[in-house]
Homo-oligomer: A and B are copies of this chain.
């Protein structure tokens, strides 16, 4: 087992004042002699199967098998610890993922530095018309954008001015911080196992997630991709970019596909999938087929 490659521990800048950096990983091995965190997953999975699978299946194949069958427990055997700095409104979304351990800076102990998130002009957008929770794809007109940024600056200045003056008056920090906008940066250590990191990424890499948390998820994903490359590959194929269809949807689709079409579909996968995966796929393809 070797130490982490140097670059892996460098902070990745996110938004205007934020970052994510890897603090530690269990196991602390990567990219040397082909040893990555993937091997710790495979090793744990093999406790279940004992000798049986030791020779028959490569670690990569095993990881793909675990991922597509939702045998999630071996992915819990890898643990990641991050240090991150982000606006409070991002922290408020992030903290909702409860299967993690957190140590956050305390605004009762500490005076928070004057760092407030200010969106890039292009990120100020109109309320989305199709997706009630997000913003649209189009730009806002330049005037509105400018007015918004000016408003934000004014609020931030006013709030930090009030904060500083209350602290000068010796008002308790826990009271004074009440004026700070949720755009203010906070920071924390955040530690979770790889399964729950992937659950987090699945939800927060999604286009429905707010852009400002998505960029943190992307930075974290880029680290996972290096620490556990086979797991990441499988995550992308099966979870992130996979497609789910309800029973009636799949019935409606499969009605278009005769046996010849199904054969052609399988043919396209022969070079991509292992024989075992292909066998399972064939069964699933035909499962909803009306007799």
Enumerate chain A interface residues (CB-CB to B < 8 A): 1, 3, 24-28, 40, 44-45, 47-52, 68-70, 73-74, 76-77, 79, 81, 83, 87-89, 91-92, 95-96, 98-99, 101-110, 117, 119, 123-128, 132-136, 140, 144, 147-148, 151-152, 154-156, 158-159, 162, 165-166, 169-184, 187-189, 191, 193, 203, 208, 210, 236-238, 241-253, 255-257, 261, 264-266, 268-269, 272-273, 281, 284-285, 287-288
Which residues from chain B contact A243 at a C-beta distance below 8 Å? 244-245, 247, 250, 284, 287-288
Q: Give the shortest distance, in Å, between A98 (CB) and chain B (any CB).
A: 4
Does the CB pair B69–A189 fall under 8 Å?
no
Other A-B contacts than A49-B109, A117-B178, A174-B210, 20 sampled, CB-CB below 8 A, are A25-B26, A26-B26, A70-B203, A77-B81, A95-B96, A125-B171, A126-B172, A127-B172, A135-B172, A135-B175, A147-B166, A151-B166, A155-B159, A156-B179, A179-B182, A238-B244, A242-B250, A243-B288, A245-B284, A252-B268
Partner of A109, one of B50, B74, B237: B50
Residue of B nearest to A106 (CB): B48
Contact assessment for A101 and B88 in the assembled complex, using a CB-CB cutoff below 8 Å: no
- Among A70, A108, A265, the most chain B Cβ lie within 10 Å of the Cβ of A108
Shortest distance from the beta carbon of A17 to any chain B beta carbon, whole Å: 13
State how many copies of this chain the complex holds. 4
Q: Which residues of B contact A281 (CB under 8 A)?
A: 249
Of the candidates B103, B169, B238, B248, which one forms a contact with A74 in the assembled complex, judged by CB atoms under 8 Å apart?
A: B103
Known contacts A24-B40, A243-B288, A250-B243; A103/B47 CB under 8 A: yes
Residues of B near A288 (CB, < 8 A) are 243
Residues of B within 8 A of A1 (CB): 3
Bound Cα distance A179, B77 (Å): 31
Known: A48-B105, A178-B183, A242-B247. A171 touches B191 (CB 8 A): no
Cβ of A238 and Cβ of B242 under 8 Å apart?
Answer: no
Contacts A171-B140, A181-B181 given: A106-B49 contact, CB under 8 Å? yes
Q: Which residues of B contact A169 (CB under 8 A)?
A: 140, 144, 147-148
Cβ–Cβ < 8 Å partners of A154 in chain B? 158, 162
Cβ–Cβ contact A173 & B256, under 8 A: no
* Given A77-B189, A191-B76, CB of A133 within 8 Å of CB of B106: yes
